Amino acid sequence: MLIPFDIWSPIFRAPFSGDVTQEITPRFLPPDIKGSPAIEEKVVREVASYGKQLGKVLEALQALAAATGTDLPEIDALVAEVETVKADAKEALRAEAKAALARLKAVDEDAWREVRGG
């Protein structure tokens, strides 16, 4: 005897109804990267992030442009935008820290004093 659920059971998988093992490895790079993903990941983890690498290239371009008297307005605009994002992120972090300190002071003033160093 078939019950209605039997029709759907081959395509419906309830939680934990199948293989529940899964490799959870943080990946910094997409799986379709050209070259060697292992080398790229090692560079990003141990040497410098893509942002740091790109920052060095942009600094070199700006220095070269200044030395040769060449205007690079798109590069200058890009650098300015990056600096704005960094400044905004720092300000947001400061605001979060101030809010966390205010919450700590309200709940545990002794711990607040300890964290403040006094």
Output phi, psi for 23, to 5 deg: -75, 125
Please give the residue that has the higher pLDDT: either 89 or 1.
89
- pLDDT higher than threshold 60 for residue 9: no
pLDDT tens-digit map of 68-115: 999 999 999 999 999 999 999 999 999 999 999 999 999 999 999 999
pLDDT of residue 86: 94
Please give the residue that has the higher pLDDT: either 107 or 22.
107
pTM: 0.60
Measure the CA angle with vertex 49, ends 47 and 50; round to 5°. 125
Band the pLDDT of 29: cuts 50, 70, 90. low
Q: Where are the domains of the chain?
A: 34-71, 72-118
